[in-house]
């Protein structure tokens, strides 16, 4: 969940931001500029109940400098900035920056001010553009709620990954390797995928174990290794199928249900020579552990899974121990989809809290 930075300090120094943490908000009074030392920052502007996605900045880039030159705007932030991953920034106060500017040759200051004015005019034009970042029901003209990733976004990005890696991925021991510049060429320039959504998807795929990051020839972490292209295809088919289902037919698994299913799958994997689709898994000790930890995970947490035929009813043994029938073939097929789907939902929920 994102946290607001609050009122900006006028001090200089190193700051570390957690993933999702706000560096500054649109319209806030500015007192510093920042140099990104490590990580990534997402720039966005609130619009209605959604956001306009502006850009993603990375290590070595400067952010917040326009407020220093913005006399007309009273030195206010023209957009919001938040960390996409753990990020280090060097904060330079406007007071310290002004001292550096005062020591420059007059002609050099003129060039800097001219460039700043031109960039400000471009920013003003960007603000006028319409954005489809917010979900809108055009039948009523009302917002149905902000979604960073819509189903079409996920389908487009996964499809792009599959096609580009299938055509240009280089086989390695870890999987198919591709330089970020090649992926950017197709994703951003050809398919029009917003940069912040592409970056967030890479982070998600990395978290669920489908992507790894390696260094290129210059020692920069810009090689993206896709570990299993068939799973990307499977996720693409899953999302495309779900898109056309009615709400009551879509796969909906709560986070607690997912945790339960992951524990069941771990136990099934350790059982040798499974011959049938349904297998019995003991759960008494799991329930005791979750109760001791006050995790709130109970037998009822599996209700979502039962609706979709992943598990059967709970069986009480002669020793009063509890077991449950699990459709392991169906679980094997759907669990990766569930983990990915819920990670997408978490991303949407985290970003919607900024509204």
pLDDT tens-place string over residues 24-40: 998 888 888 899 999 99
Please tell me the predicted confidence (pLDDT) of residue 70: 66
Is 155-245 in CATH node 3.40.50.800? no
Query: What's the mean pLDDT in 344-350?
Result: 90
- Higher-scoring residue by pLDDT: 350, 236: 236
Give the DSSP H or E segment for 291.
helix 284-292
Query: Encoding tokens for residue 226?
Result: 């896709």
Please tell me the predicted confidence (pLDDT) of residue 122: 65
Cα separation, 128 vs 139, whole angstroms:
24
**Contact yes or no for 70/127 (Cβ under 8 A):** no
Query: What's the mean pLDDT in 241-245?
Result: 91
Same topology between domain 155-245 and domain 255-341: yes
Residues 319-330: tens digit of each pLDDT: 888 999 999 889
Query: What's the mean pLDDT in 197-224?
Result: 93
**Contact yes or no for 96/12 (Cβ under 8 A):** yes
| Class (C level, CATH) for 255-341 | mainly alpha
Q: Domain locations in the chain? A: 13-128, 155-245, 255-341
Residues 124-147: tens digit of each pLDDT: 555 555 444 444 333 333 344 678
Please tell me the predicted confidence (pLDDT) of residue 264: 95
Query: Encoding tokens for residue 247?
Result: 């709400």
Query: Minimal CA–CA distance to 331: which of 314, 307, 309, 304?
Result: 309
Cα separation, 9 vs 344, whole angstroms:
34
CATH homologous superfamily, domain 13-128? Jelly Rolls (2.60.120.10)
Cα separation, 27 vs 67, whole angstroms:
10
């Amino acid at each position: 969940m994102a946290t607001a930075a609050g009122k900006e300090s006028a001090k200089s120094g190193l700051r570390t931001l957690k993933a999702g943490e706000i560096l500054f908000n649109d319209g806030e009074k500015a007192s510093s500029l920042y140099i990104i030392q490590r990580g990534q920052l997402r720039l966005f502007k609130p619009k209605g109940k959604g956001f306009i996605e502006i850009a993603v900045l990375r290590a070595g880039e400067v952010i917040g400098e326009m407020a220093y030159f913005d006399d007309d705007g009273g030195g206010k932030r023209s957009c919001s900035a938040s960390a996409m991953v753990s990020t280090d920034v060097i904060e330079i106060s406007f007071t310290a920056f002004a001292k550096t500017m005062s020591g420059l040759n007059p002609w050099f200051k003129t060039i800097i001010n001219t460039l700043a004015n031109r960039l400000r005019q471009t920013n003003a034009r960007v603000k006028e553009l319409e954005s489809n970042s917010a979900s809108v029901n055009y039948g009523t003209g009302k917002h149905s709620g902000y979604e960073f990733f819509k189903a079409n976004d996920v389908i487009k990005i996964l499809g792009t990954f599959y096609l580009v890696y299938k055509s240009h991925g280089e086989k390695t021991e870890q999987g198919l390797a591709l330089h970020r510049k090649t992926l950017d060429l197709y994703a951003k320039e050809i398919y029009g995928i917003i940069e912040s959504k592409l970056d967030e998807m890479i982070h998600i795929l990395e978290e669920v174990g489908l992507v790894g990051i390696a260094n290129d020839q210059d020692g920069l972490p810009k090689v993206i290794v896709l570990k299993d292209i068939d799973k990307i295809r499977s996720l693409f088919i899953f999302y495309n199928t779900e898109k056309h289902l009615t709400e009551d037919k879509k796969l909906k698994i709560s986070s607690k249900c997912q945790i339960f299913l992951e524990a069941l799958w771990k136990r099934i994997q350790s059982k040798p020579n499974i011959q049938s689709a349904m297998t019995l898994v003991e759960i008494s000790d799991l329930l005791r552990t979750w109760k001791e930890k006050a995790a709130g995970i109970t037998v009822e947490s599996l209700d979502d899974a039962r609706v979709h035929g992943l598990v059967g009813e709970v069986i009480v043994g002669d020793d009063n121990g509890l077991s449950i029938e699990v459709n392991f073939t169906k679980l094997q097929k759907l669990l990766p989809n569930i983990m990915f789907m819920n990670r997408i939902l978490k991303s949407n929920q985290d970003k919607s809290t900024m509204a």
